[in-house]
Structures are given as structure tokens and as C-alpha cells.
Chains A and B, each alone.
Chain A
């Protein structure tokens, strides 16, 4: 008598990849726009990036229903914060809130792999990377999603700063300029699209800097 296995899962993986790179005074957040299930494509034009606060964007890959629920919750919590504090939430504050929100469902998690990107209170770029239950870390760059295994080693090669244990202390943010970082993101996604079947269609790039938020799109292979 073998143990009975579940014949229904509450989760699904809608695929896709997300990337975020922090610069000295900007932050680039990017994700592809393909939404799939199994070997099928549900849509080629779905945005995985959302604005949580004035200077804080989140890109999430995984189960998009959970992602949507998470986005709505964070938006509502942000409204409450604004009523109470009379100001927008900073990126580090939002980062902690996201972590707590994810851990709250430790035993029925949001199937959502997130990268948070924005400007910290000093105007420097900041990127936070998460797992599904809220473990997070501030980093100079990160990727999540189906293409992350292809993307991350490449970003390490291009962006990895020497060990933080060395002296003098080095910045985790990349010395690249904003346009160089955007070009890097485009290259990275073009490569990931080649080998990851769940990544492709179109690339959405969002850049957060002192002037505000701007979006850019680039076509990717549709196969």
C-alpha cells in the first residue's frame, strides 16, 4: 500500500525571468513578458514588474496568481503606511515588509520569487533578493526565475565586486553607467532567451533614478 499522492496542486509555475542591478544613483529592474503554463504560452505581454512605492519596484517570477495577491497586499499596506507616516515608504522599509509578508505564510507560501529594486534613502541604487518564504539580502545585483541559473553566473562574471572583507571597503553597487547597465540587461536576456524555453517574447526594463521612473521595451525571440 503506497502513500497516496496529491492529484491536485494549488501551485503552478508561469515561468519567466527577472533581473535587477543597482548603480551609484540608479537601479535597473527588468523582466520578460512571457506568461506560460507547462509547455504552453498563456500570453506574450504580461508585466511581472510593479511599482510598490515612489522609488521602489518589484519584479516577481513564479506563480503569477500568488504574485498578484502579494502585490495587492503590499499596495494596501503601503497606503496604510502613507496615512500613518505622511510619506512614501523607503526601499529598505518595503524590503523588510515584503520579507515579513512572505514569512507570514511560511507554511503555505506565496510561490513568488522576487527581486526588489529602487533607491535607498540616500539616493543610491539598492537591490534586494528573496526566496519564496522571505529570506532576503541586499545585494548589488540579482536574478530570479526560470532563467536565473543562466543569468546569474553571467552577472557574476560582469558585475561581481571583490570580497566585502577586503580593505578598503568596496561599494556593492556597480560602477557602470545607467546606459551600460541597461545594455547589459538586454544582452543577458537575449542570451537567456536562447536556452530557456520559458523566457522570451518581450523584455520590459524599468529604470529608477533621481528624476523618476522610466520604462523601456525590447523584443525577444518568440520561440
Chain B
């Protein structure tokens, strides 16, 4: 995309019928570090790459619990994501207060999408610069939605957003049809492998990625580092046994060093608000 005379305001159409500010906002999502979601009939898994700006700082929080049955992963302007998570949490609490039942995921994503749309039609606002993967469980089953800065949303079997999302999609595309019947462990494994695909040169370490799960009888929660480390170990061993490698040069992992880094971020300040 290049600068042109129709991209100054979100309220200006281009002659081709495009709103460039909205498209630029979607570019911001691609600049953020990767976030991936997969779902089966009973579980939804979110995984994301946690990039820290420097070795001295803590990692960005990209996965937020919205309610016991809903969680989100974001990519893009994480500040916008934080604000939207707060909105979603509020909506869930208010719905629960009025109806004494959990807010259906489909209702929440529509509200979120409508909120995003408002920002595409006001001259004094700008679109939210964050893509939101919404993972949730309700009476109609397990769901994964992607909410876009444009105000659009779609339901997905599996999806990846953020930088190098194509690498993760290349892994997911041939496999997604089987996800519906996947077990919880296989789903998490596939999520971790997809995350690994987006990290081209780096090793998959627990300090770099965060995984969260929601499922039938399992409220939304972020998996602790020990669990993730064991899972990474398991499938790394499986891969060394010669299962088809989508990319060459996978070094044998030495994840012992990752533990001290994990301990440092465990007590990270609750910078949520």
C-alpha cells in the first residue's frame, strides 16, 4: 500500500470504494506478534508469541480471560486490545447479572464487531488497531471467532493472525478438517507447532509463547509454564523420531535455560488496567 489522497480520514472513501484507514488498521494487526487459535468439538486453544521489547522488560500480555467460558488472544496495538478486553469483561458481567447465565459467545462477538464498526464511521475516532481471536464455549458448543478492526467477524476452525501468520496457516490448512475430533492434547500440540512455524529461526521456548485453553468442564485458563514445557518436550521428541518436517533444521531443544526466564515473568505486575 502506498500513501494517497484518500487515506487521511476514516470517513473518506476512495474512488475504488475502499476505506484506507481501516485497511491500515488491519496492517497494524499484521505487525503484531503472532496469535493462533484452534478448536475442536469440545475445546478451544489459543497460543501466542510473546515478544518483549528488550531483555530487560517483561513480556506483553496478549491473552486475556474474559469470563470462565470466554478468553481472547490479540495481535496489534495491545493497548487497544486491553481496552477491548475490559469492555468484553464488563459485558459478560452485566449479562450474567441480568440473566444469571453466561453470555453466549456469538452475542459477544457481535457487540465487539459493532463497537469496532462505530470507529470506522466517525470522523473524530480511529479504528481499533487490534485483531481479536475470541475463544469461547456456550450451549451451542466450542467456538473460535476472529474480530477485525473493520468491524467484520467470522467463525473459524483454526486461524492465525500477526506477523508470519501465513507460516502458521500453511501448517493448519491441510489439517484443520480433523480438528473437530481432536483430543485436547492434540489440539494443544497443533497450536504449539503452529506457533513454532511462525518463529522461523528461533527455538520454541516457553519464555516466548503462552497457551490458553477453554473446554467442556474446563474454565478458560492460561497453562502454566511447566505444563507447556512438558508438552513442548513431548512433541519435540516425537518430531525427532522422523515425522514429516514442514521445515528443515530443527535443533534438538534444550529448554532447561527457559525456566529462570519463566520464573521472572510469573510475578509480572498486573498491568491490565
Contacts and interface: CB of A to CB of B under 8 A. Distances in A.
Interface string B77-106: 000000000100110011011000000000
Interface stretch (A59-67, A78-86, A120-128, A137-145): A78-86
Interface of A: 72-73, 76, 79-80, 83-86
A84 B272 contact: yes
A86 B272 contact: yes
Contacts of A79: 89, 93
B1 interface: no
B270 interface: yes
A76 B96 contact: yes
B270 A84 contact: yes
Contacts of B270: 84-86
21 contacts: A72-B97, A73-B97, A76-B93, A76-B94, A76-B96, A76-B97, A79-B89, A79-B93, A80-B89, A80-B90, A80-B93, A83-B65, A83-B86, A83-B89, A83-B272, A84-B270, A84-B272, A84-B273, A85-B270, A86-B270, A86-B272
B169 to A, nearest CB: 31
B225 to A, nearest CB: 16
Interface SS of chain B: helix
A72 B100 CA distance: 9
Nearest to A80: B93
Nearest to A69: B97
A84 B273 CA distance: 6
Nearest to B97: A76
A86 B89 CA distance: 14
A85 B270 CA distance: 6
Given A80-B90, A85-B270, A86-B272, 9 more contacts: A72-B97, A76-B93, A79-B93, A80-B89, A80-B93, A83-B65, A83-B272, A84-B273, A86-B270
A64 B273 CA distance: 35
A73 B93 CA distance: 10
A83 B93 CA distance: 11
